[in-house]
Amino acid sequence: MTMHWWQQPRIQAWAWELWRYYSWRPGYQLTLTTAFPTAYVDMKNQRVVCNPEYPMPPQPEAQEVRDLPRDTRAFQLRYLESLIAHEAGHTHFSGALPPGLLGQLVNSIEDERMERLMARDFKELGALFGFAADVDAAHAVHASGQGGDVLYGCLFHRFTCRHPAWSFQPDGLDAVHWPEVRAVLEAAWNAPVYADVIVAAQWILNRLGVPKEAPKRGDLQRFLDVSLDGLPEIPEAEQEKGSGGDGAGVGSEKRPPLPVLDALPSPAAVKLMTTTAGYAQEMAPLLHPPVQPGRVHASRDRGRFRYDRYQRGAERVFEQRVEPTRPGPMHIRVAVDISGSMEGERLETARFLTFALRQAAQLAGVPMLAFGFDDETHALIEPETLFQTGLNRIAALTVCGGTTLAPTLKALWQPGLAGHSLTFVITDGSLSSQDYRACQALRAGHTGLVVPILLVDAPSILQAYQEAFGQCVSAAELPSLLPKVLAFLRALRA
């Protein structure tokens, strides 16, 4: 049976961590499923369900959706996060819905009130909820335009109240009531408690002459949380993909950090992985300083008494054990030349080596930073960069401009990382005399080891880099370079 993309463990784990972050309710059960059009939270049974495949906004309305990702998967992930945060907000601020049309109106008002409160507590949600509102507005405009009766306007106005191009244009028989209903509606969005929302919804229905026992309307329900009345069963295979915890509710465990989902491997990264994996595995154990093994030696007065030595009349009759010496932490920093002279085989070599270093550092548990340099400095891997995101950036390297190294070294050496520092400079070109002097000044203030890897066989360039940094590794072709790099790392451990 084929697994849906949202059933992958990394997606499930990310969604669950999002729920924990926004709700702080680890006792709930989260299920991703396409069995429902949007999402719902059942607070009585502590269950939340979200549809991870909400449809992309249609054209031409999609052009009015701000910050719309071009990639369908990126869109679905962003909209899914908005659903999870939205349902989490209901557990913080909302109560039980009344039945019928009154419940739908309360739901549409409360959705906006609750999202405003969530955006107050989670600053990143303002833009996320605005994006989701644009998406819902696009679907609504595509299906029905910007008109309708006042009850529909209460929902549509929520989606478009901040949009620069769309706004509700009442065209029903009750249009005359829109100004005063709008005033009550917008006041309810800022109401301090949920009970005020119910009062406002009752006033609106009464003002429009609609009985509070009126049944639900289908044109409203498709943009609201899924009704809990008569819910169909979730497919068994998708129930198993739900996540849950043992916590009792808010505050039962420390709120986790906001999770970030790593990128999927790009086609270029997948291609590089197949060629660099073996080399990275060879390199990984060499990125740690060597462990001094434990040993046992004879002592006059410390350790375990040895009777056999005493019988022999030995001067040192005790046996003392010395524990292995564990090295301190270490980290890798890489500056890779992406100037115009690197085009072609040299750039491929630089990509290969930087990519393999990233893989090896991951295998070894060693932090790594990486910057590209031409006339400017380009961040590739920073302390917060996720693993696959960094690999994708390395795989996408292209050439441009001249060669200026000193500003990149300054940026590369600024982040404070624990332990010994090992810096690789992967390049093919000479620097200006001013740049060499600036690099020498920076090198004098840097305590770690710096190893230029020169992709040329040019004695003059090699000599200049040796004067600026010390020892170098040099080879013009990848097959010759790779064993030299491994030999150099082995020599460091000797």
Q: Report the interhelical angle of 194-207 vs 150-160 (nearest 10°).
A: 140
pLDDT in tens, 417-426: 888 899 999 9
pLDDT in tens, 445-480: 998 999 999 999 888 899 999 988 988 999 989 999
Q: How much is the average pLDDT of 342-363?
A: 95
Q: How much is the average pLDDT of 72-93?
A: 95
* pLDDT value, residue 494: 64
Residue 23, pLDDT above cutoff 90: yes
Q: Please indicate whether residue 235 or residue 220 has the higher confidence score (pLDDT).
A: 220
| Annotated domain spans of the chain | 5-239, 292-326, 330-493
341 close to 377: Cβ distance less than 8 angstroms: no
Burial classification of residue 357, based on how many CB atoms lie within 10 Å of its CB (0-12 exposed, 13-18 middle, 19 or more buried): buried
pTM above 0.75, yes or no: no
Binned at pLDDT 50, 70 and 90, residue 373 comes out as very high
Instruction: Report how far residue 255's alpha carbon sits from residue 253's, in angstroms, rounded to the nearest whole number.
Output: 6
Tell me 262's DSSP state: P
Instruction: Report how far residue 410's alpha carbon sits from residue 405's, in angstroms, rounded to the nearest whole number.
Output: 9
Percent over 70 (pLDDT), the chain: 92
Q: SS3 for 43?
A: coil
* pLDDT value, residue 3: 82
Q: How much is the average pLDDT of 114-134?
A: 96
Please name the fold of domain 330-493.
Rossmann fold (3.40.50)
84 close to 124: Cβ distance less than 8 angstroms: no
Binned at pLDDT 50, 70 and 90, residue 324 comes out as confident
Burial classification of residue 141, based on how many CB atoms lie within 10 Å of its CB (0-12 exposed, 13-18 middle, 19 or more buried): buried
Would you call the peptide bond into 60 cis, given omega within 30 degrees of 0 as the criterion? Answer: yes
Burial classification of residue 363, based on how many CB atoms lie within 10 Å of its CB (0-12 exposed, 13-18 middle, 19 or more buried): middle
Q: State the chain's mean pLDDT as an integer.
A: 89
Residue 249, pLDDT above cutoff 50: no
Burial classification of residue 410, based on how many CB atoms lie within 10 Å of its CB (0-12 exposed, 13-18 middle, 19 or more buried): middle
337 close to 315: Cβ distance less than 8 angstroms: no
Binned at pLDDT 50, 70 and 90, residue 21 comes out as very high
Percent over 90 (pLDDT), the chain: 69
Q: How much is the average pLDDT of 418-435?
A: 90
* pLDDT value, residue 263: 86
* pLDDT value, residue 254: 67
Binned at pLDDT 50, 70 and 90, residue 157 comes out as very high
- Beta carbons within 8 Å of 287's beta carbon, 6+ residues apart: 330, 332, 360, 361, 364, 366, 422, 489
* pLDDT value, residue 492: 80
User: What residue ranges in 303-419 does DSSP mark as E strands?
Assistant: 304-305, 318-322, 330-337, 368-373, 377-381
